Structures are given as structure tokens and as C-alpha cells.
Structure 1
Amino acid sequence: MALKGGRAHRAPDSHEQGSMTLGTAQSQNTSVVETTARDIKLRERVRRTLAIEAKGLAALSAAIEADLGDAVEGAIGFIERARGRVIVTGMGKSGHIGRKLAATFASTGTPALFLHAAEASHGDLGMVTPDDVLLAISWSGETSELGDIVHYAGRFAVPLLAITSNAESSLGRAADVALVLPRVEEACPNGLAPTTSTLMQLAIGDALAVALLERRGFSASDFRVFHPGGKLGARLLKVSDLMHQDAQMPLARLGTPMSEVLIEITGKRFGCCGVVDDAGALIGIVTDGDLRRHMSGELLVTPVEKVMTSSPFVVDPRELASAALGQMNRRPVPITVVFAVAEGKPVGILHIHDIVRAGVL
């Protein structure tokens, strides 16, 4: 018997303690079962959303084999012939999709910008010229805010392309080319929130951008011009962007004694020295491995060609640094430094540390 606050409290006996433990365990098990059930139901809902949206993309792909394919070709033709930009416009969720598509066009070689449909009626239509192409996005095709843009396009003969699900809508009828998307089920259980529909708008816009990219032969080098920053920009760096050039390269001519070669290796701090002939062509390299293999009392007076490794591995200065890194790692014995050679002559030297610092990895 224990006293607390003037009242007696009896400690539970062993039978009561066992009952309490059992009850707690049952409660915990019930909670685990309920949590698991909720998780399973949640995952089912997620899978349902993905399945519905996948059906939408499948329907879109099938539509390309019919009339939508002709419309896509027509839209691409208008954009290719335009001397100006693609002006993408839309409202609400379609507007958000439009912003992304304008950015995708611009970054893949098709000059583009996004025009807010509501702001267009308050002066921003001044951004649009007859040299441009308008791309208006509206699932219903009856977005009231697009009215002034549609009227402007007709008045000033600006080509109008439409992404909509209703060919007979105001937008669909006014467009020079209407990309009519198949009507499909929204992933939203209430059928209200744009989900499958916006995914399809995004997909057809991306398809236009990529088709134009390929038609124009837009290369990785071109892509890097518009993506100089971040991880993507680093991945597109070339060997020539990172290599050390001219006096920074450790080089020695045929006949140079190893005493001078060691000074060159120590001074340039790449752990190696390239060997060139009288014409300046790279014919060999001296590495720390070569030094170990030829270590003797005569090393310092030995001509460099007696120590060097002939026909060293080299890279093209025009190739991507990431590709050069892969080749360096795939050598029978991975190497950390490589010469860049053009027309047989060394034009630079690249160390793996240069690649790491640039964020290529």
C-alpha cells in the first residue's frame, strides 16, 4: 500500500499487470493493421491515378495515327516557316502547361515566350508580331480570356495554333491548325481537377518541341548554349572547356635528359610529361610508373625516349568531358590525366580533378 496525496494506492498484482500488457499489445496490433490497410488503400489510389493518366497518353498516341497526326504536321510546318517566335498562351492549369512548353521550345532551338491570356488584353498583345505563331491552350476551347488574342490573331494575320479537346469550340474553329486531343477520363475522382487533360497537353507540346529539335538537327553542343549552368550544363562541358593549354602543359622534346623532364613534371604538377618530336607531334608520355620502372643511378642522364611510354592514350578536345572521363576509367589501368590532341599535336591536358571541380561527375 502506497500513500500519495493522502490517499492509498495499491500496486497492481501480477495478474493485473499481465492483463494490462496483453491489452496494450492488442491495441498496438490493431493500430498496425489499420495503418497497413490505410497504406494499401493509398497506394491503390495512386496506382489508379497513374493508370488513368496512362490511358490518356495511350489514347493520345493512337490519335496521332488518325487526324491528330495531320494536325501535328501542319503545326510544325507553321512553326518552321515562322520568322519570329512561338507565343504560347493559356489560362489556369493550361496556362501553367503553356509556361513549361514555352520554356521547352526556347531551350531546344525554337524561340518562344509565354503570354498570359489576361494580361494580353491590357497591353501585352504588343509582344505579338505577324512574324510570330500563336499557340493557344484550352481544354474546352471556350476560355473567355483567350477571346482578345483570337481576335488579334485574325485581325493581324498571325497564325493561330490551338491545343483543345473541342474542334467545334470558338478556339477550335478560329485556329489555322487545331490539335484536337481525345476526351478522356480525368484522374480526379470528381472529374473536375485537370489531371489527365493537362498531362496530354504537356505531352503533345513536348512532342512538337522534340520533333522541331530533330528536324533542325539541334545537337548537344547547341543545347549547352542555352543551358550553361547547373548539373546539366556541367554534363555538356567539352574537354576543351576544362583542359589546361599552352605553357601549362608539361612537355619535353626527344633527346631531353630525364633530369630536365623531372623538373618539368615537378613544375607543372600533373604527375606526368608529354614527349613531342621535332614537328611537335605527341609520341609518348612519362608517368610515375615509368619512373619506377627505370629507377637507377643513370636515370637523370637517360634520354626521355628511353623511359617514355610510346603512343599514349589521348582524347579529342571536342568531345564531352564526361565521355573522356568514361574512357579514362575504362582503361586497363584507370588513369587520372590525359592529353587532348588535335591533328597529332597536344593542345591541352586534362586532369580528373578538373572534371570533378566542374561538377561533371
Structure 2
Amino acid sequence: MAKPGRPGASKGGKGPTKGSGGKNKRALEGRGPTPKAEDRAWHPAGKRKAAAERYAAAGGKGRPSGPGKGGSNPNRGGRAKQDDDTETVTGRNSVLEALRAKIPATALYIAQRVEMDDRVKEMLSIATNREIPVLEVTRPELDRMAGFDGVHQGVALKVPPYEYAHPQDLLEEVVEAGETPLLVALDGVTDPRNLGAIIRSTAAFGGQGVVIPQRRSAGVNSAAWKTSAGAAARIPVAIAPNLTSTLKEFKKQGVFVLGLDGGGDVELPALELADRPVIIVVGSEGKGLSRLVTETCDQIVSIPISAATESLNAGIATSVALYQVATLRAAAD
């Protein structure tokens, strides 16, 4: 049996030096004082100043910033928090998906001499049609906008902060659309890359949304946006003030709650509730599902894995479970 607290993984068997600071500088004779670095167009500081002026002209407040003060590592691009409460989506897939989804962007940044492919051409077309300012900036400026070690692929998009849905509104929209609910809830998953991967898998296997708790959870930040490969523009994420209470409300409305845990009493291949309205709950790798959430689940489901593998992380375990549910639903149609 797998170690407890590992999301859904079950190994077979039964499942449950300081400078002068500018002092003593001499002016060049006959040519006046030396211009400040930021007033020299060719100097990096001058280029930064010019980029900041273009940024402000597009609606920004001062120079574009990287990660927020005291914030977390933005983890290779995606959606980076800005000082003026806006965010920056980076990466060609993520920017294109955000534009396609008609997110109210305020500026599209393109690197100088960027390699033009079909995605960049479509971005420029959409931005032109929607009258979104297109600003050419240097790659170092994009690096700062994307954050530490950011991967922007020569493009960035300034957008408002992510807008979360309400869990009940999310469920009602699915039902009103005539679809059988297939949702995912995260219980203590704090890695934004796992959240991004789960959002992407939810989109891939026909799910309609993700629910996260207000506390002890990753949010849709730069890393999550990037890992979702743009799916965060299509799959709504709702915040539950209290996850256990939200799950209980869902149950009252006919939604079955399935928890993923290595010690589950039902192995995934034997799941009989796939054709019903379901919400799959996955816990953190370290602690697994919390006690109250576990007690709320209708079933605890495990995923059979090889004994040579210790466990599956939350993102992979959720992907496997979603695939299985989607496969069983397709077979039943």
C-alpha cells in the first residue's frame, strides 16, 4: 500500500566595494555636464526610461515591474503581478489564448526583431481589431516584466488580475448548460504549477471548472497561468471560503464527491460513479486530504501504480482520474 497522504497513488493490491556615488565628477570642457545615463538614448538606462514612457502611455503607472514585492517566484513566466494591480501574461500560447478569450487587455508587448510565426501574427491581428496598443520593447524589458528566470518567448500581455468565480455560480452554469458536472477541487495543494497542470487537464478531459479553498491553496498566478498553457483563459476557477461546506452544498444538489488517496477503498478502474455529476478532490502530496474533507467524500478512490513508484503528484493523479472518468462516460454514451 502506498504511503498515506499521496494523492490517489496505490501500489497494486487493495486500494485504500562602494563607488564614489558620482562625487568629484568633472564636466567635459566646452561641452557642458555629461548627460545622465537615462537621458542617453543608447544607454540601457535610457532604453528603460523610453520603455517606461511607452508603458505609461498605454495606461500603466510608471515602469513595468516584475514579481510583486514580497511575492513568490513567478516561476518561468505566465502571469506576473504588477505594482499597479495589473498582471502580465507571458508566453506565446498563454498570450494568444488570453486574446482569443477576449480578456480586457490594455497593452500587447512585442520584443524588437521578434520571430514572426502564426501565433504572433494572430496576436497582432486580434490586438489591432480590438484596438489594443501594441508596444515594441527590448528583450531585457520583457525579461523584467516576466519576472526572475521568466520565459516570455518575445511577447507579453497586460491584463487585469484574475477574476475568480463563486463555486455555486460555477455549478449552476454547468447545469444550465445541460452538461453533467465534472469538476475538480484542491485541498491544500499549494504548488501553482500543479494548479496550472490541473486546469489544463480539466480542459483536456471535458471538465468544466476547478474549485480551490480561500486558504492553504495556490492561486492563479504566473506559474499556474504558464503551466496551464492558456487553459486558464477557458476553465473557470472558483474560490470556496470553506471547502468542506462547499462540498456539502454540492452533495445536496446531487453531486458526488470523490476523494483521491492512496488508501482509498475503491480503485479507479472499478469506479461506478463516473456517469454521475462528480467533483474530484485531490489533496497535497505531504498531507493528503484533510480529515473533514475525507469525511465529506462519498468515496475515496485510489489509482493502482507499480510498486517501483512511490507515488503520483497531485497534478498527475488528477489527470489520470479525469481521463478515466472521461473514458467511462464516452463508453456509456
The TM-score, its normalising length taken from structure 1, stands at 0.24
Larger CA Rg, structure 1 vs 2:
1
What TM-score, normalized by structure 2, do the two folds share? 0.26
Considering fraction of residues, name the structure with more helix: 1
Larger RCO (alpha carbons 8 Å, 6+ apart): 2
